[in-house]
Structure 1
Amino acid sequence: MRGGTGQHETLIGIALMVSAVAGFASIDASAKFLSGTMSPMLIVAVRYLVSFVIVAAFLAARRDIVGLMRTRRPGLQVLRSLCLVTATMCSFVALRYLPLAQVTSITFASPLVVALIAGPLLGERVGWRRAAAVLVGFSGVLVVSRPGVSGMHPAALLAVVTALVNGVYIVVTRMLAASDPPETTMFYTGLVGSVLTAPALPFLWETPSAPSTWIGIVSVGFFGALGHWLLILAHRRAPASTLAPFAYAHLLWAVLLGVLVFGHLPDHWTVIGGAVVAASGLYLLYHERPRVTPPGEEGAA
């Protein structure tokens, strides 16, 4: 009976994980939709403010707000949030000019960045298998972005920056997992992000006239809160090593939303390069499967 219950919990965890990355893809789709009428900085500010209000209200109703704010490593909380705001800003600007699937494929190089910087920061050894997987993965990024080719858009470089900064964000999240609960980290993510971006609202805000724009504004914040909360619930149901491969469903959701919302079919270079990046990341997950990944590190949007 225990085995059956454990398997049932694992399946629920996987379903929650797939739903979480669908939420992350929906953030990007909402941001891309809004970029037609709003500046990226305004979209980032709205994303954090709406998400923070939702998260703070929900968490405050469930637990002591003072206890929620208590962190043993405030400096790391601020650094993590700075990384996330930077990654979000670069990603949203890139989404203004590039198809959803292309940006997602490039930013999914983040685990490869983690494989490189985890050595000096976390004391993990970088073996030849890890180094080879990283090189192959970055070759996939080159295929997607196609540097030196006339068709490359400069915004692809912002997607690369997103992957690099997101890698630092993931490592800092691992460091925080040993000291702070995920709800506290989630709270500080919204708090710091709002403090950093909200001052831009009075200078950039223009009241939308189209109902669809209001829907996009609510969506970008709502899916930000929902995606990260589902991620926490998923990790409470199943081991991180089991859930990690399903984070790559984000690519499939990005392709689906790109086709349905924007009519963008990914070209063959994006498909090939994205497959190479995903395969390299999955190999790293398999090779390092005994390691435990804390909740909340898969998405930086």
Structure 2
Amino acid sequence: MTPHHGAHRQVIGMWLMAGVALMFASHDAISKTLIYSLPVIFVAWARYLVHSTLVTTVLLRNGGAKVFHTRRPWLHLLRAVVLLADSLSFLFGLTHVPIAESTALVFLAPAFVTILSPLMFGIKADRWQWLSVVLGFIGVLVIINPASDAFSLWMLFPLATALFFALYQMLTQLAGETDSPSVCSFYVGVFCTLILSAIVPFYWADPDWLQLGLLLVLGGLGLCAHFLMAKSYRYASSSVLAPLGYLQIIFAVAYGILLFGNYPGTASMFGIGLIFLSGLLVYARRQPVAPVSQV
């Protein structure tokens, strides 16, 4: 591969990751719009139902029933429970917390990964990674400002989301040792749908045609974002692409202003900047992974 061709592939991967950030931000903006008029549980159930239906259809067309084989179903069930905790804590938080601040707090997940990795994988962090953790938590304190009169316990929900997302990432890494990404995606979607299906009758709603369309778009966006993310890593390494995920915060700020009239204050922007810097430090210290040469 020539240097020019390698650079071209990296640019493609970077554009794909930017698209992922936009899709996730759009997903969250639609979620916030829907939960103003529909129960959170119903919105989450519809999102995972669409996800499971699309993934199952794709897997059946590509490989038949054999692609559903897994040796670790209980691990996938645990992943689903953690992912549900992630999704629901974020959605409930969005009912009271602006989308920009919510998104920024979720991006504390790399700091939680740094804290938890020695316990789960025996990977010790260096001083720069611990500095990133400290910066991240300072950013959190600046955003939620627990000493102010404006502090709300709802701010803790996106913070819990970051913890659950970190756990989900590490459990997915364990699952990936034996199962393919498509199998992991299938089982987590199915288990989430089944769990929510047992609860959703108590929170049932009758969406109108516009809400129904948005629910379908919501499920499609989530699946497409994960597909494009996997595709992007075939063009460039994680050290190049991961920082671009933080574009989601910028898109979230834009959505918050345009759709909901939420203008982050100076303190919030400073806290968001610290969390952004925290994440960049985490990824800067990772060992680069070579991109896959085949498309």
Instruction: Give the TM bin, normalised by the shorter chain.
Output: over 0.9
Matched, 1:10 2:10: yes
Counterparts of 1:266 and 1:85, CA distance in 2: 28
Contact 2:237 2:289 in 1 (8 A): no
Report if the CA contact (8 A) 1:105-1:270 is conserved: no
Deviations 1:238-265 (A, max 9, x none): 2222211111111111112212222222
Alignment of 1:1-301 (within 5 A): 2-61=2-61, 63-209=62-208, 211-290=209-288
Q: Does the 8 A contact of 1:90 with 1:162 survive in 2? A: yes
Query: Structure 1 residue 176: deviation in Å?
Result: 2.3
Shift in Å at residue 291 of structure 1?
A: 6.2
Tell me by how many angstroms 1:139 deviates. Answer: 0.8
Contact 1:91 1:103 in 2 (8 A): yes
Compared CA separation, residues 97 and 292, structure 1 to 2 (3 A): farther
Mean alpha-carbon deviation: is it higher for 225-234 or for 122-131? 122-131
Question: What are the Cα deviations for residues 19-62 of structure 1, in whole angstroms up to 9, with x where unaligned?
Answer: 1121111221111001111111111111111121122212322x
* Alpha-carbon shift at residue 219 of structure 1 (Å): 2.1
Q: Distance in 2 between matches of 1:259 and 1:101?
A: 9
Q: Deviations over 1:142-187 (max 9, x none)?
A: 1111113210122111111111111111111222232222111111
Q: Which amino acid aligns with 1:243?
A: L
CA contact (8 A) 1:136 1:276 kept: yes
Matches of 2:147 and 2:43 in 1, distance apart?
31
* Residues 170-210 of structure 1, C-alpha deviations (whole Å, 9 max, x = no match): 1112222322221111111211111111223333222123x
Structure 2: 5+ residue runs without aligned partners?
Answer: none
The 10-residue stretch of structure 1 (93-102 or 23-32) with the greater mean CA deviation from structure 2 = 23-32
Gapped runs of 5+ residues in structure 1?
Answer: 294-301
Q: Structure 2: which amino acid aligns with 1:50? A: V
Q: Which runs of 4+ in 1 moved over 4 A?
A: none
Conservation of the 8 A alpha-carbon contact between 1:83 and 1:169: yes
State the secondary structure of the residue aligned to 2:36.
Answer: coil
Residue 299 (structure 1) aligns with: none
Q: Structure 1 residues 274, 114: CA separation in 2 closer, same or farther (over 3 Å shift)?
A: same
CA distance in 2, matches of 1:238, 1:170: 20
Secondary structure of the residue aligned to 2:123 is: coil
Q: Mean Cα displacement is larger for which, 91-100 or 69-78?
A: 69-78
CA distance in 2, matches of 1:139, 1:6: 38
Q: Secondary structure at the match of 1:236?
A: coil
CA spacing shift, 1:290–1:9, aligned 2, 3 Å: closer
Which sits farther off after the overlay, 165-174 or 71-80?
Answer: 71-80
Give the TM-score normalised by structure 1. Answer: 0.91
1:237 Cα deviation from its structure 2 partner: 2.0
**How many residue pairs were aligned?**
291
- CA distance in structure 2 between the partners assigned to 1:218 and 1:241 by the alignment: 33
Question: How far apart are the structure 1 equivalents of 2:202 and 2:242?
Answer: 40
Provide the identity percentage: 28
Letter in 2 for 1:48: Y
Partner amino acid for 1:25? A
Conserved? CA contact 1:77–1:189, under 8 Å: yes
Q: Is the 8 A contact 1:104 1:254 kept in 2?
A: yes
1:292 is displaced (CA, Å) by 8.2
Q: Name the counterpart of 1:297.
A: none
Kindly report the root-mean-square deviation, in angstroms, between the aligned alpha carbons of the 2 structures: 1.8
Paired residues of 2:17 and 2:229 also in contact (CA < 8 A): yes
